[in-house]
Chain A
Amino acid sequence: MKNEHFSAYEELLLKSFDVALSAREQERLSLLMQNEPTLRRQSDQYLKIRDMMLRIEPDTFGPFFAERIMNQLKQRVNEIDYLIFFFFKKYQVLALGVLVALLITNLLLTDQLTLKSLFGVDQQTTEDILSIDLYKNLIEHP
Chain B
Amino acid sequence: MEQPTDEVLIGKSNAGDTAAFKMLVIRHEGKVAGVIKSMLGDVSEAEDVGQEVFIRFYDALGKFRGESQVSTYLVRIAINLSLNELKRRKRAASRYTSIEAAAGKGSENMMDLKEQLNYEFGRLDPEFQAVASLRLIDGYSTVETAEILEIPLGTVLSRLARAQQKLRMALSKKLK
Contact = CB atoms under 8 A, between A and B. Distances in A.
Size bracket, chain B contacts = 35 or more
Contacts, number: 91
Contact of A60 (B30, B121, B137, B165): B30
Contacts of B114: 52
A91 interface: no
A142 B114 CA distance: 97
B47 A49 contact: no
Interface stretch (B32-40, B81-89, B103-111): B32-40
Contact of A15 (B18, B22, B132, B161): B161
Contacts of B46: 61
A contact patch SS: helix
Interface string B44-60: 00110011001100100
A109 interface: no
B93 interface: no
A41 B121 CA distance: 21
Interface stretch (A23-31, A66-74, A82-90, A116-124): A66-74
Given A19-B157, A58-B30, A59-B34, A66 B25 contact: yes
A61 B135 contact: no
B contact patch SS: helix
Interface string B3-29: 000000000000000100110011001
A128 to B, nearest CB: 54
Given A56-B137, A72-B51, A18 B168 contact: no
Contacts of B168: 42, 45-46, 49
Nearest to A56: B137
Contacts of B51: 68-69, 72
Contacts of A68: 51
Contacts of A65: 25, 29, 33, 47, 50
B175 A45 contact: yes
Interface residues of A, number: 31
A72 B59 CA distance: 13
Contacts of A50: 136, 164
Interface of B: 18, 21-22, 25-26, 29-30, 33-34, 36-38, 42, 46-47, 50-51, 54-55, 58, 113-114, 117, 121, 132, 135-137, 139, 142, 157, 160-161, 164-165, 167-168, 171-172, 175
6 contacts: A15-B157, A45-B168, A58-B30, A59-B42, A66-B25, A72-B51
**10 interchain residue pairs of minimum CB distance:** A59-B33, A53-B136, A66-B25, A14-B161, A45-B175, A59-B37, A61-B47, A59-B34, A66-B26, A61-B50
